[in-house]
Copies of this chain bind each other. A is one copy, B any other.
C-alpha cells in the first residue's frame, strides 16, 4: 500500500468517484507515520480533520480514571477514523493510538468539506460509513450490557472467523490484553475464560491461534448471552 492514490481509490468513502476527483482528494491528503504505541490523537483534542489507515493497525479507545481501557474500534488498512468532529464540531470523543507501526492519511476538515460540496456522492458515502458505525456500536452496547464475557468472546471469535474466511480456525491479530480491552474485560478474566472454554471442549488455543472444536456450541454461547433460559 505504497501509493496514496491507490489507498484512496479503494476506500469506501471515496468509492465510485472518477479518477479526476480521486487525484483532487489525494492532493489534500497528508501522510503521517506513527510508531507502535504512539498516540494519534486524544479525546480532548480538537478534531480538525479525519484519518484513513493506509497501513498498520489503530485502536480507538476510552480510559477510566483508574486506568481501565475500553477499545471501541480497531481499524486496519482502508478504514477511516476520527470523522465525528468533522461533522459535529468539537473534540474527538475518544483516543486513537497505533497498535502497530502505521501510516495514515489525514484529511483536513475544511478541504474535505469543500470536496463534499463539490461532490455530493461523497456525503452519501460518508453517511453510509457513519450509519455502519452506529450499527456496530449498537451491537457493542448490547454485548456489554446484555451478555457476559464468555458470550462476547464467542461472538468475537465467530466474527473473526467470518472476517478471515475460515470455518473453524482463527488467528488473533491483536494481543490477548488488547482483546480483553476490546471485550470490555481484563486479561486475567479473558485468560480464565479461554481455559474454561478449552475444558468445555469448545476451543483449542496455541498462542494467538484458536481452533474451534465445537462451532455450534460457540454459536449458542454467543447468542444466549446468559445461561438462563428455558422453563
Contact = CB atoms under 8 A, between A and B. Distances in A.
Nearest to A136: B93
Given A70-B145, A72-B138, A134-B133, A87 B225 contact: no
A120 B122 CA distance: 10
B225 A138 contact: no
A223 interface: yes
A83 B132 CA distance: 11
A209 interface: no
A65 B133 contact: no
Interface stretch (A123-131, A163-171, A210-218): A123-131
Nearest to A139: B93
A66 interface: yes
A159 interface: no
Contacts of A86: 131
A146 B68 contact: yes
Contact of A116 (B65, B90, B124, B130): B124
A147 interface: yes
Contacts of A188: none
Interface residues of A, number: 48
A84 interface: yes
A132 B229 CA distance: 36
Contact of A87 (B88, B90, B124, B141): B124
A194 B121 CA distance: 50
Given A62-B138, A84-B135, A146 B70 contact: yes
Q: Lowest 5 CB-CB distances: which A-B pairs, in order?
A: A123-B123, A88-B131, A64-B146, A87-B131, A93-B138
